[in-house]
Amino acid sequence: MNKRITISPSPHVYEDTSVKRLMFDVVIALLPALAISIYFFGMGAIIVTLVAVVSCLAFEWLIQKYILKQEPAITDGSAIVTGILLAFNVPSNLPIGIIIIGSLVAIGIGKMSFGGLGNNPFNPALVGRVFLLISFPVQMTSWPIPGGFKTGYADAVTGATPLGIVKEGLGKGDQISDLMNQVPSHMEMFYGHMGGSMGEIAAAALILGFAYLLIRKVITWHIPVSIILTITIFTGILWYINPETNADPLFHLLTGGVMLGAIFMATDYVTSPMTPKGMWIFGIGIGIITVLIRVFGAYPEGVSFAILIMNSFVPLINTYVKPKRFGEVVNHG
Partner 1 sequence: MSTTLLFTIISLSALGAISAIILYFVAQKFKVYEDPRIDLVTEALPAANCGGCGYPGCRGLAEAMVKADDISSFYCPVGGNDVMATVAKILGKEAIAKEPLVAVVRCSGSFAKRPRLNEYDGATSCIISSSLYSGETGCQYGCLGMGDCVAVCKFDAIYMDKETGLPVVIDDKCTACGACVKACPNRIIELRKKNKKDRKIFVSCVNKDKGGIAKKACEVACIGCGKCVKVCPYEAITLENFLAYIDPNKCKLCRKCVEECPTGAILEINFPPRKEKEGDAENTETSKTGKKENE
Partner 2 sequence: MLKTFAKGGVHPAECKYSEDSRIEILPLPKTVSIPIAQHIGAPAKAIVAKGDKVKVGDKIAESSGFVSANIHSSVSGTVAKIDDILDSTGYKRPCIVIDVEGDEWNETIDRSPELRREINLTDKEIIAKINLAGIVGLGGATFPSHVKLSIPDGKKINVLIINGVECEPYLTSDHRLMVEKAEEMLVGIQILMKALSVNRALIGIENNKPDAIAHLTNLVKNYPGIEVHALKVQYPQGGEKQLIKALINREVPSGGLPLDVGAVVHNVGTAFAVYEATQKNKPLFERVVTVTGQLVSKPSNLLVRIGTPVSNLIEAAGGLPEDTGKIINGGPMMGKAVNSLEVPVTKGTSGILIMSESESKRKKEATCIRCAKCVSACPQGLEPYLLKKQAQLEKNDTLEQSGVMDCIECGSCSFTCPAGLPLLDYIRLGKSRVSKIIRSRKQ
Interface residues with partner 2 (CB under 8 A) are 1, 3, 5-15, 17-19, 21-22, 73, 76, 78, 116-119, 220, 269-270, 273-276, 322-329
Asked if 5 is part of the footprint of partner 1 (rule: CB under 8 A), the reply reads yes
Candidate ranges 4-12, 246-254, 288-296, 298-306; the one touching partner 1 (CB under 8 A): 4-12
Q: Which of residues 6-25 bind partner 1 (CB under 8 A)?
A: 6-9
Closer to partner 1 by CB, 18 or 175: give it. 18
**CB 257 within 8 Å of CB 301:** yes
For residue 116, give Cα distances in angstroms to 59, 68, 78, 184: 12, 10, 10, 41
**CB 140 within 8 Å of CB 94:** yes
CB under 5 to 8 A by kind: which of partner 2, partner 1, none does 76 bind?
Answer: partner 2
Please name the residue ranges forming H helices in 160-246: 162-172, 176-182, 186-191, 203-215, 222-241
CB under 5 to 8 A by kind: which of partner 2, partner 1, none does 323 bind?
Answer: partner 2
Closer to partner 1 by CB, 4 or 325: give it. 4
Closer to partner 1 by CB, 1 or 330: give it. 1
CB under 5 to 8 A by kind: which of partner 2, partner 1, none does 322 bind?
Answer: partner 2
**251-287 b/e (C-beta count within 10 Å ≥ 16 → b):** bbbbbbbbbbbbbbbbbbebbbbebebbbbbbbbbbb
In terms of Cα–Cα distance, which of 276, 330, 289, 264 is closest to 89?
Answer: 264
Q: How far is the CB of 8 from partner 1 (least distance, A)?
A: 4
Q: How far is the CB of 217 from partner 2 (least distance, A)?
A: 9
